[in-house]
Structures are given as C-alpha cells and as structure tokens.
Structure 1
C-alpha cells in the first residue's frame, strides 16, 4: 500500500502530537476491536477465533523487523519480556546502560543487583566507548523516550560484539517509524501501543536462538506449550522448541487490534514512514528556530508551553516546561502549524 493511501485510514482530531505516549488506531484496528467486543459481549464465538490474531501479529511483527517468526515471543509489556534475560545473568555480570534510561529497560537489571549483578550507567553518547572487556551485556533504547535521541545502533552492536557482550534493545519508541535490523541484536523488545498503534497489552520480543539457550521460561503456562491446546492440564513439562516457550498467555482483545495494524505497517515502505515523520518533526523545530534532527520525537523548552498548547487544543507531552512532541502517519502539517501558532503567538 502507498503511504498516501494508508494515511487516509485514521480519524484523528486536529492537534495530536503525542504518539510517544500512545499511538492512534487506524480504521481496520477500530473495526477489529469493535467486532471482538461484540463477540465477547454475546458469547458468539470460541476463543480460537480471536487467537488466530496472535499468529498474524507475530508473523507481521517478524516481517516488520526482519526476523523469523519462530524467534518472536509475545507478551504484555517490555519489562516482562526483559525479565528472563535479566534473571539469567550470573552473579558478578556487568550491564552497561545509558544514564536516564527509561525504566522498563533499566529496572529489570537493577533488581538483580541484590544477587551481585552490576549495573553501570554512562552518558548515551559515551555508550560505545564504555563497552569493554568487563561488559557482559549492554541494554538501551533505540530511540530515547525523553527526547527522541536515536542511539548509534550499529556502533553499539559492533562494540559489544568485539567484547562478546550481549545486546538488548528496547525499540518501543522506534519500531513503526524507524527502519532497523532486529537480528543484529540478541534481543529486541517492543511495546506495541505507541508507534505500532495497537491496543495496550500487546508486546513482542525478538529472542535470538543463541540467547534463548541461556534463558529459563519462568512464566511458562499453557500458551508456551509445544501444542497449547494439549497443554491445559498435567505433567510432563512440554514447552515449545522456539521463542514461543517464552509466550505469555495473550490478551485476545489487544492482539485482535494488533494484527491489522502490524500487517498494514509491514506492507508499507518504512523508510517513507520515517521520512514523513521526521519531516514533520523538522517543520516543528524550524518553526521554533531550532536546527533539524533525525527523529520523529523532539523535545524543546518553551516558556508556558503547557498552558499555550492546552488552550489551542494541542495534545503533546509537557514535562518541566519542555515540550515533547511526536509525529506519525496521521500527523499533518496543519497539526504542526497549530502547535507552532500556540507556542509562538
């Protein structure tokens, strides 16, 4: 599908510049969720009808990030997907992370400190140089939630590989607008409710086979079984041989909404999505007299921003006087100009 055609699939009130908080559903997602709600209300179908959306979602996510669906696990949140990786680190292991990192990709390592795991926080722009022979794992967001900074993915991976360190990436603020090769990392975690525009409660993990050998599926339930439908009751343990052994039993309503939007994104030219989003972000920056950037998320300091934006009906994140604005497929130049008029008028 062409980008111009896809952009007609949203029904958005003017002034939404907050995808970094949550994304908005295109028409196919809205329709799918309404159908599931109606089926749930009436008891009109068995759950297997909804469950088919999980396989569709897994396959579309894998296509979007360039990996094998057999290497994709599904869950509910990034921190839950990171947990078995953190739990598998041996006492004395050292994890290097950026300072001020989003806590879903930070707290899982920190809770392991009580058993001897060491967490070393360094400036993001110094992350490559901080990876050394004593580093066992490096974890970072591909795009920073706070200000949209895009990490030097290739350089970080190369530095980690030169020291045999694992690479764990939170791509929640990147996946859906920024093309990248997930297979270069050992694990890539994505919450789907932001740039993937799915209902909150769907999340994905690319888990490389070499990493999975080190992990124990402590949260395994019936859905992690080799055949989930014959894994409802009783011994013995019979888990899937691939990444599905780390699956969390899915929230069906969330995955019913995730499947159509992931399939839509996987059919688009993601480079064109990036160019659209970044062009709008740079239009916003230019209007405020700032230099252009390379991200769909920007953060700028404007006095009185919260009151000015609210008065104009613009929805963006404002924290400590800094505006965090984010731009995606449904954002228009008119949305950008509405925000600029509010901030500069």
Structure 2
C-alpha cells in the first residue's frame, strides 16, 4: 500500500506528537473493534472469530521481525513476558542493562535478586564495552523510550554472543518504523499499542527455541494448550510444543483491533514508514537548529529549549510527553508537516 494512501486511513486531531506513549488506530482497526464490541453487546457471535484475530496478529508480527508464528507468544504486557525469562535465570546470573532502560525490561530482573540474580546498570554509551564473559544476559531496548536513542542491535548481539551472553530486547519503541531482525536476539518483547497502532493490552514475545526449552510457562492456561479446545478442563495437561505454550489468554477485543493495524503496517512497509517518520523528526530538529538524527523520537532537554518553554506546546495544541526531565516528541504515519511546523513555532 502506498504511504499516502495509508495516511488517509487515520483520523488524528492536529498536534499529536506522542506515539511513543500510544499510537492512533487506522480506520480498519477502529471499525473492526466497534463491530466486535457491538456483537459482544448483543451476543451475536461466539468468541472464536475474535480469537482468530489473535492468530492473524501473531502471524503479522512474526513477518515484521523475521520470525515464524510458532516462535511468537502473545500476552497483554511486556513485563509479564520478560518475567518468564528472568525467572529462568539461575542464582548468580549477571544481567547488564542500560541505566535509563524502561522498567518493563528491568524490574523483572530486579525482583529476582532475592534468588541471587545480579543486575548491573550502566550508561547506554558504555554498554558495549561492559559486555564480557562475566555477563549472562544483556537486556536493552532497541530504541530508548526516554531519549529515542537507537542501538545497533547487530553490534551488541555480536559482542554478547562472543562473550557467551544472551540478548533480551524490548522493541516496543522500534517495531513499526525501525527494521528488526530476531536473528540477532534470544528474546524480543514488544507492546503493540505504540508504533503498531494496536489497542493497549496486546504484546508479543519472540523466544529462540533453545531458550524457551529452559523457561517454565508459569502462567500456562487453556490458551497455552496444544489444542485450546481440548484444554478447557483438567487434569491432563498437554501444552503447545512451540512458543504458544507461553501464551496468556487474549483479551479478545484488543486483538480484533490489533490484527488490521499490524497488517496495515506490513502493507505499507517498515522501510517506507521509517523514512517518513525520521524525516519528520529531522524536520523538527532542523527547525530548532539541531543536527539530524536517526530516530522517530526527539528528546529536548533544558539545554535546547528555554526553561519556560515546557508549557508552550500544550498551549499551542501540541500533545507531546515529559520524560526524564525532557520534552519528548514522536512522529509517525499520521503526523503531518503542519504538526511539525506548529511544534517548532511553539518552542522557538
């Protein structure tokens, strides 16, 4: 699908520069969700068609990250999925994490410290140099939530594997505009309600086969069964042989909205979306006298904008976010050049 055609499928109010907090739904996703909610209201259908949307979304996400559907587990939140990986670490395992990492990819390791898991946080700029044979897991976001910094995942993976460490990645702020290949990681988690424009309550987890053989599916239920329809009642338990054994029972209507949204991202193509998003971000940076960057997220600290300018965007109808003491603006498919111009004017 042509990018211009796709952009016409969104209905944003002018000034939304906050996709890093949540993305806006394309019209096909919104319509599918409203129809499902109406069916639920009147009891017109069983739940199976809603569950089929979960499988469509799983397959679409797998294609976006270069995986197979059987390598992808579904859940509602990133921290639930990281927690399974963290709980499988042995006592004495050492985890290296950037110090400004979003806590969904940090706290699950911290809570394992009582078992002897060691968590070390370092500045992102020092991460690569701190990977050595004492490290068992390198956990990081491909794109940092607070700053928008983009990590060269292939370089980190090469260093980690050379040291015998696993790589666990949060790709929530990346998938949808930044190309990701799971060949570089052992585990990848991604909440879909940001750059994938899906409802909140949808999350994916890629697990390499050798890693998932070491993980216990602590929250296994009927949806983790080899045959979900034969897994309603006990006592016999036969879980799926692939990553589906880590599935949590899906919040149906969230996935009804997720499937069309992910499929649209696929149809447009991550490369085209990334070029558009980063182009807008660099237009914003240029308007403020900043050099170009490589991210769809721009973080502005007090050294860039006046101390009294933090309220100006809101007064001008620009919706951005305050993160880690900075103003964070993020740009996606539905952002316009007029949005960029308005934000620059508000901050100049």
Distance 2:249 2:309 in 1: 42
Once the two structures are TM-superposed, the CA of residue 179 in structure 1 deviates from its matched residue by: 0.7
Q: CA RMSD in A?
A: 1.0
Give yes or no for contact 1:138–1:160 (8 Å, CA) kept in 2.
Answer: yes
Distance 1:173 1:280 in 2: 16
Give the match for residue 164 of structure 1: 164
Deviations 1:57-90 (A, max 9, x none): 0000001111011000000010001111000000
Give the match for residue 63 of structure 2: 63
Give the match for residue 315 of structure 1: 319
Give yes or no for contact 1:28–1:260 (8 Å, CA) kept in 2.
Answer: yes
Once the two structures are TM-superposed, the CA of residue 269 in structure 1 deviates from its matched residue by: 2.3
Q: How does 1:266-305 map to 2 (within 5 A)?
A: 266-301=266-301, 302=305, 303-305=307-309
Instruction: Select 1:341's aligned residue among 319, 340, 345.
Output: 345
**Matched residue pairs, number?**
344
Give the match for residue 328 of structure 1: 332
Give the match for residue 186 of structure 1: 186
User: In the alignment, is residue 116 of structure 1 matched against residue 120 of structure 2?
Assistant: no
Distance 1:183 1:255 in 2: 26
Distance 1:147 1:69 in 2: 31
Distance 2:124 2:20 in 1: 19
TM-score, with normalisation over the residues of structure 1?
A: 0.98
Give yes or no for contact 1:178–1:271 (8 Å, CA) kept in 2.
Answer: yes
* SS of residue in 1 equivalent to 2:328: strand
Once the two structures are TM-superposed, the CA of residue 322 in structure 1 deviates from its matched residue by: 2.2
Runs of at least 5 residues in structure 1 that lack an aligned partner in the other structure: none
Deviations 1:308-334 (A, max 9, x none): 111111100024762100000000100
Q: Judging changes above 3 Å, is the alpha-carbon distance between structure 1 residues 222 and 321 closer, same or farther for their aligned structure 2 residues?
A: closer
Distance 1:87 1:161 in 2: 21
Runs of 4+ in 1 over 4 A off after TM superposition: none
Q: How does 1:46-57 map to 2 (within 5 A)?
A: 46-57=46-57
* SS of residue in 2 equivalent to 1:306: coil
* SS of residue in 1 equivalent to 2:311: helix
Once the two structures are TM-superposed, the CA of residue 305 in structure 1 deviates from its matched residue by: 3.1
Deviations 1:36-57 (A, max 9, x none): 1101110110001111101100
* SS of residue in 1 equivalent to 2:140: strand
Runs of at least 5 residues in structure 2 that lack an aligned partner in the other structure: none
Give yes or no for contact 2:153–2:184 (8 Å, CA) kept in 1.
Answer: no
Give the match for residue 74 of structure 2: 74
* SS of residue in 1 equivalent to 2:177: coil
* SS of residue in 1 equivalent to 2:310: helix
Q: Judging changes above 3 Å, is the alpha-carbon distance between structure 1 residues 91 and 178 closer, same or farther for their aligned structure 2 residues?
A: same
TM-score, with normalisation over the residues of structure 2?
A: 0.97
Give the match for residue 125 of structure 2: 125
Q: Judging changes above 3 Å, is the alpha-carbon distance between structure 1 residues 212 and 272 closer, same or farther for their aligned structure 2 residues?
A: same
Distance 1:59 1:183 in 2: 17
Distance 2:177 2:94 in 1: 31
Q: Which moved more, 1:185-194 or 1:312-321?
A: 312-321
Deviations 1:183-223 (A, max 9, x none): 32011100000001100000000111011011000100000
Q: How does 1:164-243 map to 2 (within 5 A)?
A: 164-243=164-243
Give yes or no for contact 2:280–2:337 (8 Å, CA) kept in 1.
Answer: yes
Once the two structures are TM-superposed, the CA of residue 162 in structure 1 deviates from its matched residue by: 0.3
Once the two structures are TM-superposed, the CA of residue 306 in structure 1 deviates from its matched residue by: 3.1
Q: Judging changes above 3 Å, is the alpha-carbon distance between structure 1 residues 179 and 319 closer, same or farther for their aligned structure 2 residues?
A: closer
